[in-house]
Amino acid sequence: MTTSSLPTAPAAASERSPRRIAFSSRLSRWDLKLSPYLYISPFFILFALVGLFPLVYTGYIALLKFDPILHTGTFVGFDNFVWVFQQRQFWIALRNTLTIFLLSAVPQIVVALAIAAVLDSNLKAKTFWRMGVLLPYIVMPVAVALIFSKLFSDDYGLVNHLLSFIGIAPIHWHTDTIPAQIAIATMVNFRWTGYNALILLAGMQAIPRDLYEQASIDGAGRFRRFFSITIPQLRPTLIFVIITATIGGLQIFDEPQLYDTGGLAGGSNQQWLTLTVYLHNVGWFQDGSFGRAAAVAWLLFLLIVLIGLINLAVTRRISNNENRRTS
Amino acid sequence: MTAPILSPAAISGRPAKAARRRPGRGGAAAGMRPGFLGYGLLVAALLGAILPLYWAFLIASGDSSSLNDVNLPWWPGGNFLENAIKVVSNDRVSFFKAVLNSLIVSTVVSASVVFFSTLAGYSFAKLRFRGKQSLFIFVIATTAVPTQLGVVPLFIVMSQLGWTGTLGAVIVPGLVTAFGVFWMTQYLSTALPDELIEAARVDGANMFKTFWYIGFPAARPAAAMLGLFTFIATWTNFFWPFIVLDPSNPTLPVALSQLQANYFVDYSLVLAGVLLATLPLLLLFIVAGRQLVAGIMQGAVKG
C-alpha cells in the first residue's frame, strides 16, 4: 500500500535547513492523515444533506400538520397515518402499485432471461443485437407514456386495430382497470426488458463453460442445461435485477401520471392510480397537505423494504432448491 | 453480496481476451447457433423496440387526422418538419429553453457526480484510513435507499430557500450518488496499481497531486461510463423536476408533459415534440451505444 514512512527525498532535504524539514514533514504527515477523509467528505456531506436528511425528515413531517404557507407545523402524532389509512384511494393505489409491479416485473424478467439466453448463444452480429434491445432505454419515460397512451387508445388505437385482425373486440385500455394496468406495465417493460437482458447476459457469461460441457457429456439437453445450470448459477445477478426492479417498480410515477393527460392523474376511477401518483396528489394537488404526503412517502418506503425482503427470501429459497436438485 | 465486476479491458468496450469464447461453444445452447426460435425472439424484441417509435413518427409526419386514421400508411407523410417547427416556435412550450435547461442540468450533474465519485472512490480504493471499512459499507447500503421519497422535505427546504422554479433546485439534489462512489471504488481498486501511487509519493508529490496526476487519469474509462449513465438518468428524470420546476422554465421531460395537457389538441404535434425530444439521446446512442452496452454488462453482478 501507500508509504507509511514519510516521503523522503534525501538530496533535496540536505540542502534545506533542519527547521524546514520538520515543518514540511509535519505538513506532509497531516496531508497523509487528512487527505483520505477530505476526499470522501464531499460525498458524505452532500449525500447527508440532499439524500439522507430528507428521507429521515419525512418521518418527522409525517407527524405534523404542516402549513404550506407559513412553513410551520403542529405536532399531531399519528393523525396523518390514520387519515391515510382511512382513504379509499390509498388502498386502491396500494393495490394498483402491487398489480402493476407484478404485471411488469414478472414478464419482464422472464422475457429478459430468454433474450439473454439467445444473446449468450453463438450469435452473428452480437453488437447489433445487443444495441438493438437496448434502444428503448434512451427514450425518456415521459415520451414512452405519450406514445403508448395513444397506441393503447380505447377506440382507434393501433393495438386495438391489430387485435381486430385476429378477431378480438376493442379492449377499453383506459376505462377498464386491468387493461389499463397492462398498458402501463407494457411501457415499463418496453424501456427495461433489454436493459435487464444485458445484465443477465453478463451474468451468464461469467458461468464456467466446463459446467455446460460436463452436462452435455452427461446427456443433458439444451433446456435441461438452462434450468439446471444457468438459472442456479445466475442467482446473484437475478437477485440484483429483481431488487432493482422492485425499488424502481414500486415508485412508478411518470407512466401513470401521463397515461391520460386529459383527466385526473391516475384515471377517472383510479384505475391506474399508483402510490407515488397518490403521494403527489395529496401533497401538491387535491389536498395540499405535506404532512399527509410525507406519511404516504414513509409507508411507500416501508413497502419497498418489505417487498425487497420477501423477494430476497423467495429468490434464496428457489435457487437453493435448484442447487440441491442439480447436486 | 452484490459486487459489480469492472475490468479495464472490458470497460473500454473491447471484450477481454480470456472472456472471448471459442467458436462453437454457447452457454446453455452449447455448440449451437440460435435456431429459428432464438432469432425469432430477437427479431420480435427488436421490432418491439422500434415499432412504437416508428408509429409515432408516422403520426408526427402526418396531419391532425392521422391519429384516428385506421388505414394509416406504412410510409411517413411529409409534414414532420412543419409539425416540428410548430412545436418549437410555440412560445408557451419554451422548447429551446427546455433543451438548454436539460443540457445544463445533465452536464453539471454528471460532471459533479463523476468528480466527487472519483475523488471518494480513489480514497476508498487506494488510501488507508481509520473507519474505511464501515464507511464503505455505509455507501453500499445507501445505494439501495430510494432517496426519491424525500421529496416532501426537499420541496419544503427548496421553497424556504426560494429556489423553487430554478435549475439549482434540480441540480443540487443530484450532485452526488452512492452508486457512483461504489462504481469508482470497484474500478480503481483493480485498475490502478499501488506502485504508481508509491512512486509518485516517493518523488515528493503531495496527496492531491498524486490523485490529480495518477488517480484521475487511471479512472478515466470508468469515469466516462459513469458520466454517460448519469447524463441519461438526469436527462430522462421527471418526478422531482415536475414538482419543483415551473412550466415556464422546464427541463425537457417537464415541457413534454405539458404538450398535450395545455397546448395542443392535435396529436401529430404532440408526437412531433416527443420525437424531437428523443433525438438528442438517440444521437448519443448512435455514437456511444457500444459503450452503453459494455457499461451495463460491466455493472452487472457476479458472486
Q: Where are the domains of chain B?
A: 91-299
Q: Do A190 and B144 touch (CB under 8 A)?
A: no
In a domain, A170, yes or no: yes
The whole-number pLDDT of residue B17 equals 39
Report the gap between the CA of A323 and the closest CA in chain B (Å): 15
Q: Do B289 and A131 touch (CB under 8 A)?
A: yes
Please tell me whether residues A135 and A39 are part of one structural domain.
no
Interface test with A, best of B46, B142, B293 (most A CBs within 10 A): B293
**Cβ atoms A291, A80 nearer than 8 A:** yes
> With bands split at pLDDT 50, 70 and 90, how would you rate the model's confidence at A226?
confident
Contacts of B257 in chain A (CB under 8 A): 142, 257-258, 261
Please tell me whether residues A50 and A135 are part of one structural domain.
no
Q: Do B261 and A161 touch (CB under 8 A)?
A: no
A185-189, A265-269, A302-306, B199-203: the lowest-pLDDT one? A265-269
Please tell me whether residues A41 and A124 are part of one structural domain.
no
Chain A residue at shortest CA distance from B203: A9
User: For B71-100, how does the pLDDT look when each residue is reduced to its tens digit (9 = 90+)?
Assistant: 667 777 778 888 888 888 887 788 999 999
Q: Is the pLDDT of residue B147 over 80?
A: no
A158-162, A285-289, B56-60: the lowest-pLDDT one? A285-289
The whole-number pLDDT of residue B28 equals 58
In a domain, A54, yes or no: yes
Q: How far apart are CA A228 and CA A323, in angstroms?
A: 8
| Helix/strand/coil (H/E/C) assignment for every residue in B217-279 | HHCHHHHHHHHHHHHHHHHHCCHHHHHHCCCCCCCHHHHHHHHHHHHCCCHHHHHHHHHHHHH
The whole-number pLDDT of residue B217 equals 92
The count of structural domains within chain A is: 2
Percent pLDDT > 70 in chain A is: 87
Q: How far apart are CA A61 and CA A156, in angstroms?
A: 46
Q: Do A122 and B197 touch (CB under 8 A)?
A: no
DSSP secondary structure letters along A252-307: --HHHHHTTSSS-TT-TT-TT--HHHHHHIIIIISS--HHHHHHHHHHHHHHHHHH
In a domain, A3, yes or no: no
Contacts of B116 in chain A (CB under 8 A): 42-43, 46
Q: Is the pLDDT of residue A18 over 70?
A: no
Q: How far apart are CA B202 and CA B197, in angstroms?
A: 9
User: Cell numbers of A49, please?
Assistant: 444533506
Contacts of B132 in chain A (CB under 8 A): 36
Neighbours of B214 (CB within 10 A): 21
The whole-number pLDDT of residue B261 equals 66
Q: How far apart are CA B163 and CA B241, in angstroms?
A: 12
> With bands split at pLDDT 50, 70 and 90, how would you rate the model's confidence at B68?
low
Q: Is the pLDDT of residue A233 over 80?
A: yes
In a domain, A117, yes or no: yes
Q: Is the pLDDT of residue A11 over 50?
A: no
Q: Global pTM?
A: 0.87
Q: Is the pLDDT of residue B9 over 90?
A: no
Please tell me whether residues A123 and A50 are part of one structural domain.
no
Please tell me whether residues A36 and A99 are part of one structural domain.
no
User: For B277-297, how does the pLDDT look when each residue is reduced to its tens digit (9 = 90+)?
Assistant: 999 999 999 999 999 999 899
Report CA-CA distances (Å) from A300 to A66, A257, A295: 20, 17, 9
Question: Nearest CB to B261: which of A243, A253, A261?
Answer: A261
DSSP secondary structure letters along A95-112: HHHHHHHHHHHHHHHHHH
Mean pLDDT across A173-199:
93
Contacts of B146 in chain A (CB under 8 A): 247, 251, 301, 304
Type of residue found at B19: A
Which is the CATH superfamily of the domain at B91-299? MetI-like (1.10.3720.10)
Q: Map grid coordinates 447489433 to a residue.
A: A128
Task: List CB contacts of B246: < 8 A, sequence separation 6 or more.
Answer: B164, B165
Question: Nearest CB to A2: which of B72, B197, B203?
Answer: B197
**Which residues span the domain enclosing A251?**
80-326
In a domain, A73, yes or no: no
Q: How far apart are CA A222 and CA B35, in angstroms?
A: 12
The whole-number pLDDT of residue B29 equals 53
Q: What are phi and psi of A180, to 5 degrees?
A: -60, -40
Please tell me whether residues A146 and A212 are part of one structural domain.
yes
Query: What does pLDDT average to over chain A?
Result: 85
Contacts of A3 in chain B (CB under 8 A): 198, 201-202
Query: What does pLDDT average to over chain B?
Result: 83
Mean pLDDT across A58-75:
80
Question: Nearest CB to A36: which of B2, B38, B127?
Answer: B127
Percent pLDDT > 90 in chain A is: 43
The whole-number pLDDT of residue A279 equals 94
Q: Do A42 and B120 touch (CB under 8 A)?
A: yes
Please tell me whether residues A142 and A185 are part of one structural domain.
yes
The CATH number covering residue A162 comes to: 1.10.3720.10
Chain A residue at shortest CA distance from B299: A199
In a domain, A69, yes or no: no
Please tell me whether residues A22 and A164 are part of one structural domain.
no
Contacts of A151 in chain B (CB under 8 A): 52, 55
Please tell me whether residues A86 and A55 are part of one structural domain.
no
> With bands split at pLDDT 50, 70 and 90, how would you rate the model's confidence at B163?
very high
Q: Do A115 and B46 touch (CB under 8 A)?
A: no
A166-175, A232-241, A256-265: the lowest-pLDDT one? A256-265
Please tell me whether residues A308 and A271 are part of one structural domain.
yes
Q: Do A283 and B151 touch (CB under 8 A)?
A: yes
Please tell me whether residues A22 and A161 are part of one structural domain.
no
Q: Is the pLDDT of residue B14 over 80?
A: no
The whole-number pLDDT of residue B5 equals 39
Q: Is A279 exposed, middle or buried (0-12, 13-18, 19+ CB in 10 A)?
A: buried
Please tell me whether residues A158 and A271 are part of one structural domain.
yes
